Structure formats: structure tokens, C-alpha cells
Structure 1
């Protein structure tokens, strides 16, 4: 007898990642389609439906073979109504009936959630969470997002805003302005752009010798990768920047850890690719700031699924939430 299949969909601003996955979390096929944000994103849902139907035709699948479609979307979501409130980078500035429209176009059951929550579920199910049932997932990319899993299920909060880790205030005074309108958010100092901002300000405020200064003069800009690469060589400005980042992030994670005592805190996103260069100082700061029991029992790990976390988590939604 054929194993039931699930479609996992992870909607991003540039591409939509899609996968056909078995109930036992084995990817049968995966592909991407471009995210068409023209005309306020009106083509996005029809494009997803067409791609799924095309995959089913190609594999000679009927609706009976497919449990449903799970979707991770970049914005606040109401799982009960299936509405995505807003996703400005997709052109969706008004609430979108994402679940109902996709169900109507495909004839399949659809479950939706926020993309960071879905990535967190993917890492819990198949990645660095390694089956742990209490996990905090933090994405350190162009922004900082996250998902909180308690007793094997995602925490949404009363308005779906649980896990907005990037908007924990870590700089009370003289903090940078965040896109959310507040100042001093974790996102302003721990995202890829935040790390660059810390280093650029350090270069401007002192005359310490640093290879970062030469990169800035030659290329006109520096990247987070430049900073971590040079921190490994003990470049003073790069090292100081990573220490500062680790302090801000370590304090935030310690406070979350003291509130939730997860088995694991899993770091994903581009900044996490720094690996041990980030993990070593971060673990030290976490131990310094966290409640002693938490410091001993909560492990900080790097995510293992990369770009597949979202499609795995979307498949988990169908398996356990539809």
C-alpha cells in the first residue's frame, strides 16, 4: 500500500520552496518557483496551486494519495481562520484568506502557520531538535525571528505574535531604530545587517588597526561573513563585534531560557553559519546570564536542515494539525 504524502510549502520573498514529503518525513521531491509579487501578490496562491497540481499529474497522484498541504507564510497568521494578516514583502498589505483560497484551487486540505514557526517545527521534527519537545528556534538572517515549541507544539500567543524574539529589547538607551518602530530590538544588533552596523560603528569610533577597515575602503561595504572570518584571526574590531553580538544574543536567549527552560535552543539563518566562532562566546554569555539550572540543562545548537526546515515543518502541520 502506498504511503500517504504531504506537500510542504515555504513562501519566501524571492522564491517559494515546495516539497513532496512522506508521512515519515522523507522528501520524495523538492523544487522552487519564483515569488510573483506583482499586482499585490495576487498570483502567488494560484502559482502554488498550479505547481502542486502539476506535480500530482507528473507523479500520477490523486487527491486520495495526499493528506494535504502545509504552508509557512512570512507574517502573522490565524491558524483557526486560515488568514494571513499581512506580508508586506509579498505585496499583501491586507489580510489574505490563504488557507481557503488554496483549498478551493487544489481540492486538498490546507494548514498554514508563520514561516519561523514552521521552520522551528521542522527542526524539532527532523533537524537539530532531534525529537526534543521543548525547543526555542531563532533565525538570524536579514532579520531575527523565531518559534517557541512547548511540549511538542508551537506556541502562538493570543494574537499569533509569540516567538517574536527579534523584538526583545536588548539596548535600553541609544539603541538603533528597528523596522517595527521601537529602538534597541535584538534584530538591530543580531541580524546580518545588525552585525555589520555594530562593526561599522566600531570602525568609526576608534582608530584601531583592523582588516575590516581595508575591506570597507576597497569594496565600499563589509559583510557579516567578513566579520566572522576575521574574528577567527583575532582581528580586534571583528573580535570585539562578535563579543558584543554574543552579549546581546546571550542575554536575550538566557532570559528566554529562564522563562521556558527548553531542552534546546536552535540557531538558524545566515548568521548561524559562523558556527563555533559564534557558538563559543554565545554559550559563555548564556551561562553567565541564565538561571543556573537552565544554564546546565539547555543546549545551544546550530540548525541542520538549512532551507529544508520550512517544508519539513509545513509537512508536520498537515500530519499533526489538520
Structure 2
């Protein structure tokens, strides 16, 4: 079975070809703010090299409708795709209806199917990057809720009732304190004055990310920012663990290339804060986090029947 996997990320388009459960090809391309679905179709065809597909999976960074066919909402992203039937678009372009899924849920499925959490049935995922993404699984089934919002909005749990308003509409969200976009805003507002090493990175690249904070934690400003990030991330994970009682916690995202620094400290804080009788789940990081979403959305797409129903 050959599946085309499409991951519409915050700044990049990731494409994969999965054959009989194995990712055999992968491409990553920058996404311009003015991108169009025609560009996606062209890139997928180039990756396939003329081959046909048996299934198509599309991951998006937002809320997906109950039918798994379209993006309902993604604050600040892909406004042109809201309510576009991506499943029908796939049928027109590739002859197959697509399975559309939230990217954090897809990443969780990828790690449960053949990744770091393989075989687990009660799992939560935290992905750290431009924002804070989450997903949950109970009894081997993804948590969705009546309207598709359940389990994926823990990055918007309130950590400061009198904090700044988040683009999502809430006040004091975790994302407003401990995400890449929040970090860059803090620098822009002068709330974070970089030390010499961090300032050099900022000058060289025009912006900084969470990994830059981790790698310059010997400087007081970076150490203070990282301390705040740890506190917020731990709060999100404690909330997830209290809500879903997982057997394992998957922590992923580009920043986890520094997992040797982050994971032990985050584990210590989460285990220290959990309810006294709560199970202390291990915190683990995927061995290949860049492909989690592609592998997961391909696995989900492979379950569709000929009418596009899971």
C-alpha cells in the first residue's frame, strides 16, 4: 500500500511516501505566507515521480471537523484553508479521498504505531515549537470530544489569570509564556535582554528560538527564560496527566534535539507536582521526531474505506 503523507506545518511543508508502513521518501520545503494548494499538489506529484497512491493523509495545525475532511480553525494560520474540503481536493488531485487530522494527534499516532510509545494505549503528547501542541489517547483511541477540540488545546491552559490575551482568545495561556512566538515577542518588547552569546545568535539569524535559550543557559537572561519555560511546560504536562492518566508521556518538537538537557529536568518537575497517588509516567522523546506526523497521518489514512470513512 502506498500512501502520500502531507504535513502542513507552521513554516514548512513536509511530504512523505509510506509504503506498507515504511516511510520510504521524505521532502521538506519552505511555505510562503501566500502559498496555494496548487503548490502542494505539484510538490506531492514531484515526490511520487508519477506513481499512483492508495491513500492520502493530510495533517494541519488546528481544529479538524468530525468527518476528518477539513480545517475548521487555526489561529493566525492558513485562513485560506478554513472550511476548504481537503479530502475532496485530494480526490480531485490524486484520485483518493484524504484523511485530515490535527498534526499533534497525527504525531501521537505515529509514535504509538511504530515509534517511542509503540504498543501503549494511554498516552499524552506535548510538542514544543512555534506554539505548544498537545494530544491524548485513552484505551488506544484518540481523544476528540463532541466538537473535535478535546485533548489538543492544553497549550492554551491558563497559567496566569491576569496574563496577556492570547491570539486564541483566552488570557494567560501557556503559549503566551513558553513558545517560540512568545519568546520572540518578549525580545521585541525588551522584556528579554539577551546576553552576549544570545545576542550574537540574534544578530546572525535575525531571530532566536527555544534551542538558543537552552544552548546559552550559562547567561543569566537565558537561564531565567528557560526557568520560566520549564515551569510552564511542567504545568501543561501535569494538567494532561491529571486529566488523562497516561502510562507514558511523549515530549517532542525541534527543541527536543536538546532532550539530554530538557527531559530530565522536565521529568523531575512533573513528577514532583503530580497528585500524591498519581502514577509517575516516564517522559520520552521520539528517536525521529521530524517524521512523527508523516508516519501517523499515513497510518490514519490507511484505515479509510472506499467512501472515505475511517
**Matched residues in 2 for 1:257 and 1:278: separation?**
18
Measured on the aligned residues, the alpha-carbon RMSD in Å equals 2.8
Retained in 2: the 8 A contact 1:86–1:92? no
Aligned residue pairs total 298
Corresponding residue for residue 213 of structure 1: 195
1:293-312 alignment, distance < 5 Å: 293-296=277-280, 298-312=281-295
1:187-198 alignment, distance < 5 Å: 187-195=175-183
Q: 1:289 to 1:315 in 2, by over 3 A?
A: same
Report how far residue 260 of structure 1 moved. Answer: 1.0
**Matched residues in 2 for 1:96 and 1:158: separation?**
21
**Matched residues in 2 for 1:227 and 1:37: separation?**
27
1:154-303 alignment, distance < 5 Å: 154-162=142-150, 163-173=152-162, 175-195=163-183, 212-215=194-197, 219=202, 223-231=209-217, 233=218, 235-296=219-280, 298-303=281-286
**Matched residues in 2 for 1:226 and 1:51: separation?**
31
Length-normalised TM-score, structure 2? 0.83
Structure 2 SS opposite 1:89: coil
Which structure has the larger Rg over C-alpha atoms?
1
Which one of the candidate residues 16, 21, 39 is aligned to 2:13?
Answer: 16
Retained in 1: the 8 A contact 2:59–2:297? yes
What do the CA deviations read for 1:154-173 (whole angstroms, capped 9, x no partner)?
21222221211210011223
Q: Per residue, is there more helix in 1 or in 2?
A: 1
Length-normalised TM-score, structure 1? 0.81
Which one of the candidate residues 66, 85, 89 is aligned to 1:101?
Answer: 89
Q: 1:256 to 1:47 in 2, by over 3 A?
A: same
Report how far residue 26 of structure 1 moved. Answer: 1.0
Q: 1:109 to 1:217 in 2, by over 3 A?
A: closer
Q: 1:35 to 1:91 in 2, by over 3 A?
A: farther
Query: Is 1:314 aligned to residue 300 of structure 2?
Result: no
**Matched residues in 2 for 1:270 and 1:54: separation?**
26
Structure 1 SS opposite 2:134: strand
Report how far residue 97 of structure 1 moved. Answer: 0.9
**Matched residues in 1 for 2:14 and 2:175: separation?**
25
Corresponding residue for residue 31 of structure 1: 27
What do the CA deviations read for 1:43-84 (whole angstroms, capped 9, x no partner)?
31x44444444555544x4xxxx4311110222111416122
Retained in 2: the 8 A contact 1:79–1:111? no
Structure 1 SS opposite 2:96: coil
Unaligned segments of structure 1, at least 5 residues: 205-211
Report how far residue 198 of structure 1 moved. Answer: 7.0
